[in-house]
Amino acid sequence: MAFLSLVAVILLEHFQPLRHRLQIYVQFARYANFLERQLNGGRYRYGMLAWALAVLPPVFLVAAAHQLAAGAGTLLVVAVDVAVLYVTLGIRHFTDTAARIAEKLRAGEIEAARHELSQWHGTATEGLDANALARLTIEQLLSCAHRQFFGVAFWFVLLGPAGAVLYRLAHVLYQKWGVLDVQEFGRFGLFAQDAFRWLDWLPARLIALSFAVMGNFEDAIYCWREQAAVWAQRLQGMVLAAGAGALGVRLGEPLEYPGRVEVRPELGVGASADPEHVDSAVGLIWRTVVLWLAVLLLWTLAGYAAR
């Protein structure tokens, strides 16, 4: 069932990708802001309560809808699964965006590439050269694949559509509350950090291993073991380091903006990033998708054979 639902939503997104922020996430962000205003007393337990009030109701609602659908037949179950995955899981949008940036870099349209990446990455890109733009594009691509596709897919396979919603909303709160400054907001945001790290502990490692299998295995494992710990976010560092090693490209490294330099550790080994490496990263993502689907298909067939 999970295999059919994943294949169906990948095909659906291929022909009708979601290219704009869904209103449901806008409303959830507003609700999260309301909870933060009402409950942020600077204590860890307040952050835990706010997280539970934000995440658990929609998770239980989706779980209940899935159970009701299960009583009505297989087709309705698949329909519910696909509907939930369509708004929680994505891949086509960010692979297409990366491919467009690579094409602009090849054509020498640096300013257009900067604008496209800034819109996607959400940070300033003024003054960055082609190499830095390619590096950031690959990093953003690998990060999006990690947290908007593979992480969601992992929890969907494990817990059904409720798992997909759990991971996706936990990531949203990690981005909103997990970055709150402890000096200003106290320990309120620390539970959002911890909860997402718990949920992401195994998916991040499976994704890093999958990149190694589908790319340069030896370099990917070396970079994962030697470089992941120096990245600010350890789990993301695993994925980026393994991806860089699998691709044979250097990521991270300082970013030179006009008047300032952002110091970042080096990830990966091999050549400096260029548009061809961006294309290779897109290919790595799709090969890894095929790997996961193949493993899931074998698991599904083994389950049927065991009955």
Pick the range with the lowest mean pLDDT from 51-65, 172-186, 228-242: 172-186
Bridge partner residues of 272 (DSSP): 250
pLDDT at position 42, please? 81
Above 70 in pLDDT, residue 292? yes
Task: State how far the Cα of 279 lies from the Cα of 153, in Å rounded to an integer.
Answer: 23
Q: Which residues, in sequence order, are CB contacts of 306 under 8 Å at separation 6+?
A: none
Residues 6+ apart with CB under 8 A from 230: 237, 265
Assigned token pair, 18: 């979601």
* Residue among 128, 250, 153, 58 at smallest CA distance from 66: 58
The distance in angstroms from the start CA to the end CA of the chain is 15
Poorest-pLDDT segment among 158-167, 199-208, 297-306? 297-306
Q: Which residues contact 191 (CB under 8 A, 6 or more apart)?
A: 44, 47, 48, 51
The C-alpha angle with vertex 167 and arms to 177 and 184, in degrees rounded to 5, equals 5
Q: Determine the 3-state secondary structure of 249 from DSSP.
A: strand
Angstrom distances, CA of residue 92 to CA of 80, 86, 95, 119: 21, 11, 5, 16
Task: Tell me the pLDDT of the chain averaged across its residues.
Answer: 91
Identity of the residue numbered 203: P
Residue 194 has pLDDT above 70, yes or no: yes
In this prediction, residue 180 carries a pLDDT of: 72
Encode pLDDT of 40-64 as tens digits: 888 899 999 999 999 999 999 999 9
How far apart CA 267 and CA 253 sit, in angstroms, is 7
Residue 140 has a pLDDT of 95
Local confidence band at 74 (pLDDT 50, 70, 90 cut-offs) = confident
The least confident of 10-19, 80-89, 141-150, 167-176 is 10-19
Q: What is the DSSP letter of 6?
A: H
Question: How far is it between the farthest Cα atoms of the chain?
Answer: 66
pLDDT given at position 261? 85
Residue 127 backbone class (left: φ over 0; alpha: ψ -120 to 50; beta: rest): left
Q: How far apart are CA 203 and CA 219, in angstroms?
A: 20
Length of the chain: 307
Q: What is the pLDDT confidence band of residue 19, given thresholds at 50, 70 and 90?
A: low
Q: How far is CA 241 from CA 64, 82, 129, 230, 280, in A?
A: 39, 32, 22, 10, 15
In the DSSP assignment, the letter for residue 262 is E
Residue 184 has a pLDDT of 67
Contact in structure between 18 and 89 (CB atoms under 8 Å): no
pLDDT at position 21 over 80:
no
Query: Would you say 250 and 134 are in contact if contact means Cβ atoms under 8 Å apart?
Result: no
pLDDT of residue 145: 96
Q: Is the pLDDT of residue 260 over 90?
A: no
Out of 95-109, 140-154, 180-194, pick the least confident.
180-194
Mean pLDDT value of segment 267-278: 94
